A = this chain, B = another copy of it.
Amino acid sequence: MTIASFFMRVSKALNSYPSSSHLLLLCTLSGGGVMAYSELQSEAEHPRIDANEPQKKKVVVLGTGWAATSLLKGLDASLYDVQVVSPRNYFAFTPLLPSVTCGTVEARSIVEPVRNIIKKRKGEIKFWEAECVKIDAANKKVFCQSNIENLVGSGEFSLDYDFLVVAVGAQVNTFNTPGVKENCHFLKDVEDAQKIRLSVIDCFEKAVLPSLSEEERRSNLHFVVVGGGPTGVEFAAELHDYVQEDLIKLYPTVKDLVKITLIQSGDHILNMFDERISSFAEQKFLRDGIKVQTGCRVVNVGDKEITVKVKSTGEDCSVPHGLIVWSTGISTIPVIRDFMEEIGQAKRHVLATDEWLRVKGCKDVYAIGDCSTINQRKIMDDILAVFEAADKDHSGTLTVEEFQDVMDDILLRYPQVQLYLKRKNLLDFHTLWKDSQGNEKKEIDIEGLKLALSHVDSQMKNLPATAQVAAQEGEYLARCFNRMDHCEEHPEGPRRFRGSGRHKFLPFRYKHFGQFAPLGGEQAAAELPGDWVSIGHSTQWLWYSVYASKQVSWRTRYLVLSDWTRRFIFGRDSSRV
């Protein structure tokens, strides 16, 4: 009974004093030999409800992915009436999805119920498990539909909003390739990863059956990955490890028949990374026996065969497959397509926001995460306004001093200027003022300014659709919402060159902390800020530390760490569950 009462006490203690659980667990974890650093979350006891409060503004958040969750974690919910709508009642730590496909980490270890997350926030946040089917920006309304059938009650409802945050994510881009939807696995959701896991086991179980020819066994054990980006590469690497470390011991009769092919349309895999990483990955895959087929475009996917067109020769070639994972990029989901038409963005591919993450073409709607991109303002579009604002004495030319005055605002408003200066190794703004002979000029006219800044806008790039970007956007927006009233009176943004006064907030600025590409065999590559590249076993351990620290809750951190430990001790599970 001592043990019983010990557990009871621990359990009770943890429930009453949430912060002590962190300390306890930290001890446990560090005792277990795995480093994990993390910021402690602030947690509120209970929502404060005050009847005398004025009517709060309604904020509706669509989605529970990286962007929405980091918004919710940062938002002071006591200031607003917050409602969250998403078809998934959990947040998923998507960078570990490739690990879930092979059981290195369990699906449940990377998910955290949204209700757990919002329970801990100041103020009450409501959550509805439903899909948003229509955004009516004109009437400030969203229409939602529950996906749960066979239970009584209408699953349809609508919500009014004062502010809407769209963070619904994106869907897989099939490029309209025939057969992809029917015959490919994707790797966007937890369910996708679980399905892949079952299918891999199916391939092996079918391949060893006594009635098959060797050719049929080979077909079933041919795993094809389409897309040489980080997800596709990581999945191929994970699968290779799973096969070599676990499955061939259990299915020894077919161990020589397994083949993994990675199809990439470009010339290199991981081509968004540094060249060193890309070629290291290709060489490692070559050593591992993973076939990398670059310069190939998939033209058709059947249930048994996949057809690719080799770009260099223009020839089609078909190979039988057991399983295909399609991981080639993202496209806009239907509800956002409809919304874009409504607000006059029909011709665009992706929903556009300004630098403050406000959706262009409507009021009080924000979009964050994969469903949108920031359409950066070109300085050349505003060049006249900038010139006029700087030219205080209306002399028609700018002096260095006059320009100095507006420089900070320009750098804030047009971040591409800073990037351009950095790239050109120019230390100061007025080095731009040199004429073609290299002589510094005292004053500059409008044509001179245009010339000086003519290449600046080419520095603009869309942010990648990564968890890191989405999370930073969510955080940024939470800060804006929290300071809405304060910034109304004390605007902190740059001056408005077109118009008067200042912008309420600083524009969103993405800070890149680097990116990992796990390559299997306990090796990883990482591109770190400042063009640092790190490759090898130590990088894999850095990966472990970073991913453990980035978990959304202590619960998932504990689960992920114990999954990794379990995998080291017992290997991966191959039950078809």
Q: Tell me the A residues contacting B by CB distance below 8 Å.
A: 1, 3-4, 6-8, 10-11, 14, 21, 25, 33-35, 88-90, 106-108, 111-113, 115-116, 119, 128-130, 146, 148, 150-157, 159, 190-191, 194, 201-203, 205-213, 216-217, 219-220, 249-251, 303-304, 320, 322, 522, 537-538, 540-541, 554-555, 558-559, 562, 566, 568-570, 573-577
Given A201-B89, A203-B151, A541-B1: A569 touches B11 (CB 8 Å cut-off): yes
Closest Cβ neighbor of A106 among chain B residues: B108
Asked whether B157 lies within 8 Å of A210 as measured between CB atoms, the reply is yes
- Chain B residues with CB below 8 A from A540, complex form: 4
Please name the residue on chain B nearest to A218 by beta carbon: B152
Please report the C-alpha to C-alpha distance between residue A486 and residue B14 in the assembled complex, in whole angstroms. 60
Complex interface: chain B residues within 8 A of A210 (CB): 128, 157, 159
CA distance A233 to B557 in the complex (A): 34
A320 contact set on B, CB distance < 8 A: 152
Q: Least Cβ distance of A175 to chain B in Å?
A: 23
Q: What number of copies of this chain does the assembly contain?
A: 2
Measured between beta carbons, the chain B residues less than 8 angstroms from A217 are 153
Assess the A108–B206 pair: CB atoms within 8 A.
no
Q: Is the CB of B568 within 8 A of A11?
A: yes
The verdict on A153 contacting B216 (CB below 8 Å), with A21-B569, A116-B250, A205-B148 known, is yes
Do B4 and A541 touch across chains, with their CB atoms under 8 A apart?
yes
What B residues does A212 contact at CB under 8 A? 152-154
Cα of A251 to Cα of B116 in the assembled complex, Å: 10
Q: Are A250 and B119 in contact (CB under 8 A)?
A: yes
Q: Which residues of B contact A304 (CB under 8 A)?
A: 152
Q: Are A537 and B115 closer than 8 Å at their CB atoms?
A: no
Instruction: From A148, A250, A577, name the one whose CB has the most chain B CB atoms within 10 angstroms.
Output: A577
Give 5 A-B pairs besides A115-B574, A119-B250, A128-B210 with Cβ atoms closer than 8 angstroms: A1-B538, A106-B106, A108-B577, A115-B251, A151-B203
Contact for A89 among B4, B90, B576, CB less than 8 A: B576
Q: How far is the CA of A10 from the CA of B128 in the complex (A)?
A: 46
Given A107-B577, A113-B250, A148-B205: A570 and B555 within 8 A (CB)? yes
Query: How far, in whole Å, are A6 and B569 apart by their CA atoms in the complex?
Result: 12
Give every chain B residue within 8 A of A570 (Cβ-Cβ).
Answer: 554-555, 558
Give the distance in Å from the alpha carbon of A130 to the alpha carbon of B576 in the complex: 13
CB distance from A438 to the nearest CB of B (A): 52
- Can you give 22 A-B contacts (C-beta < 8 A)? A1-B537, A1-B541, A8-B522, A89-B205, A90-B576, A108-B575, A113-B575, A115-B251, A129-B576, A148-B202, A151-B203, A151-B206, A152-B220, A152-B320, A153-B207, A153-B212, A153-B220, A155-B211, A159-B210, A190-B577, A555-B570, A558-B569
Q: CA of A15 to CA of B150 in the docked complex: distance in angstroms?
A: 48
CA distance A209 to B157 in the complex (A): 8
Find out whether the CB atom of B558 lies under 8 angstroms from the CB atom of A208.
no
A154 touches B90 (CB 8 A): no
Chain B residue with Cβ nearest A219 = B152
CB of B568 within 8 A of CB of A7, answer: yes
How long is the Cα–Cα vector from A537 to B4 in the complex, in angstroms? 8
A194 to B108: give the CA distance in the assembly, Å: 12
A564 to chain B, nearest CB (A): 9
Q: Which residues of B contact A151 (CB under 8 A)?
A: 202-203, 206-207, 219-220, 322
Asked whether A153 and B209 contact (CB < 8 A) given A4-B538, A555-B570, the answer is yes
Complex Cα–Cα for A512 and B202 (A): 39
Most chain B CB inside 10 Å of its own CB: which residue of A35, A151, A303: A151
Q: Which B-chain residue is minimally distant from A150 (CB atoms)?
A: B303
Bound CA–CA A488/B125 (angstroms) = 75
Whether B14 and A33, one on each chain, are in contact in the complex, defined by CB atoms closer than 8 angstroms, is no
| Alpha-carbon distance A191/B198, docked complex (angstroms) | 13
CA A7 – CA B116 in complex, angstroms?
Answer: 33
Interchain CA distance A8-B564 in the complex, whole Å: 12
**Distance of A250 Cα from B119 Cα, bound (Å):** 7
Q: In the complex, what distance in Å separates the CA atom of A322 from the CA atom of B150?
A: 9
